[in-house]
Amino acid sequence: MSDSSEDCPSEKRPPDGQPNTPAGSTPIAAEQASSNPLDTHAPLALAEPHVQSGAPLAMVETAFLASTASLIWLVNYYFPMGPLLRIFFPVPIALTYLRWGHRAAWMSALVSGLLLSVLMGPTRSILFFIPFGLLGVQLGALWRRRANWFISISIGTLIGTFGFFFRIWLVSLLLGDDLWAYITTQITELVEWGFVKLGLLIQPELALVQAIAAVMIVINNIVYLFVVHLAAWLLLERLGNPIPAPPKWVQVILDYEVD
């Protein structure tokens, strides 16, 4: 009786140390087939569209929100509606940060400045970027990190106060006149009127008048930031990008008004 390996020569086992290759193929062809780049890189090629699928949407939304911020500033300049539109100056840039992160928010602020520079000149563009462009990025960063209202309003007040004094300096430089002296004069008359009503026959000093002016500017920015937070809380929640909840006393007041 003959050995089975003699009857089936095609099923001979390869010597030890050599790979098992299919019939009719050489080890070189098998090695080329196993190292085919189409096999190893096919999953990566299929995964790339998923990684980059949000890039066009981010670019479109960033451009749209940047143009929205510029349009709000433009309409408020030519058709002023009081503080109504001013509340929404930083909101589109903050929404860009909430949706797409810090890079998109900075791009939105810069694009808004460039659009206003073309439409209204570089001066108005700078006055928008400082403080409202910076304020939008700051609010978006703090809202995305779920910071409470006390922290975001405090930091926003510092930026708004800096923006006010920067505006006074820039406009005074362009006009060749000291606007801070004009503001000090107006505050002096207001303080003197208050002293007369209180029965105090004294002349307010310059340091006291400037301190009162600075306090009034800070209080104005605090009120403005609080209203911006309130409007963003009511608006952005409906857009699917909610900001941190307000303090309990604010929620109680709003519930009372709604009822």
37 pLDDT more than 80: no
The arithmetic mean of pLDDT across residues 234-257, rounded, is 85
Average pLDDT over residues 175-192: 89
Q: Is 45 among the domain residues? A: no
Interatomic CA distance for residues 254 and 99, integer angstroms? 27
| Whether residue 43 has pLDDT greater than 50 | no
pLDDT of the residue at 40: 43
Residues 64-108 have pLDDT tens digits of: 999 999 999 999 988 888 788 999 999 999 999 999 999 999 999
Q: Is residue 22 part of a domain?
A: no
Number of domains making up the chain: 1
Is residue 49 in a domain?
Answer: no
120 vs 53, residue with greater confidence: 120
Q: Does 4 reside within a domain?
A: no
In a domain, 209, yes or no: yes
Return the pLDDT at 48: 36
With respect to residue 229, please indicate whether it lies within any of the assigned structural domains. Answer: yes
Q: Is residue 13 part of a domain?
A: no
Q: What is the pLDDT of residue 139?
A: 96
Flag whether 24 is in a domain: no
Give tens-digit pLDDT for 141-165. Answer: 999 999 999 999 999 999 999 999 9
CATH at 236: 1.10.1760
Whether the model clears a pTM of 0.85, i.e. scores above it, the answer is: no
The residue range of the domain holding 81 is 55-258
